[in-house]
Amino acid sequence: MPSFVPLQSSNPNHRAYIPPNTFPIARNQALAAIGRAELPRAGHAFPLGFQRTPDGPVLVALMGLGPENNLFLTHDARWAGAYVPATYRAWPFALGTTQDNRTVVCIDETAGVPAETAGARALFDAADQPTAFLQELMTFLSQSRNDLVATRAACAALDSHGLLVDWPITINAGETQRPIEGLLKVDEAALNGAGADVLDALNKAGALAVAYGQLLSMTNLSILAKLAEAHARAAEKLQERAKDASEMFAFDDEVQFNFD
């Protein structure tokens, strides 16, 4: 489980870090929140849908066939897709809010962030001030958060006009069919029949780009099927290697080791 704490220059483990090339935090996540600014790339990399939350519908990338299954990760947690969602590119950092309502940069201490070592990116300078790298990171985190907030507003606009409907999905992975439930999609027929006033309101809310981006991304469901088949083949090969290894090191009862 992630453990985010405020970044502090006084903590030697917070002064520098090495950008990760793996994403273990995404291992058990089949859905990732996506912002409007990510649509040009995310819309080509994933099937996108909407998920209802207590705060309203959110735009998400569908990355797996089960609730805790991310097909875009290799067995060693490397990213296998064409695009990494911003929420994962930001990791192990995130924005948090203090008790006195200040926004601060937090770091996930479970990421094993190193102290200052060769090749690490400095987060604070000798005067304990944020480096240019940390300032760029703070800008990225702020922009990403604002983008998600704006995207939530766009999703709410679509929902308020009755344009989000249930999206039952069935993925054909090899010889099996995998149902996926709980997601929503844009009602294309209702969108095409919307009046000028509705379209104008959606456009002002930035919702039209979200709607069309989601509809176009639905063709990417085939990517999930291909990834599921690739993971199945990889698992079979690992099982075969494990079997071969067990047979290689299997000894009969008469085998003895003599070190004389």
In a domain, residue 133? The reply is: yes
Evaluate whether 63 touches 29 at the Cβ level (below 8 Å): yes
Task: Give me the percent of the chain exceeding a pLDDT of 70.
Answer: 87
With respect to residue 254, please indicate whether it lies within any of the assigned structural domains: no
Distance, in Å, from the CA atom of 46 to the CA atom of 252, rounded to the nearest integer, reads: 51
- Please indicate, yes or no, if residue 257 is contained in any of the structural domains: no
pLDDT of amino acid 90 = 92
Q: What are the start-end ranges of the H helices in 34-187?
A: 39-45, 86-89, 132-160
| Cβ atoms of 52 and 166 closer than 8 Å | no
Query: Contact, 83 vs 41, CB < 8 A?
Result: yes
With respect to residue 255, please indicate whether it lies within any of the assigned structural domains: no
For residue 113, name the pLDDT band (cuts at 50, 70, 90). low
pLDDT in tens, 212-248: 999 999 999 999 988 988 877 766 665 555 444 444 4
Q: Please give the tally of structural domains in the chain.
A: 1
Q: What is the pLDDT of residue 109?
A: 83
Q: Tens of pLDDT along 87-110?
A: 999 999 999 988 888 999 999 887
In a domain, 65, yes or no: yes
Among 210, 226, 227, 225, residue whose Cα is nearest residue 48:
210
- Structural domain including 101 reads 4-247
- Tokens (6 digits) for 245: 């290894």
Cβ atoms of 202 and 227 closer than 8 Å: no
Residue 230 pLDDT: 83
Q: What percent of the chain has pLDDT over 90?
A: 61
Q: What is the mean pLDDT of the chain?
A: 86
In a domain, 234, yes or no: yes
Measure the CA–CA gap between 56 and 71, rounded to whole angstroms. 26
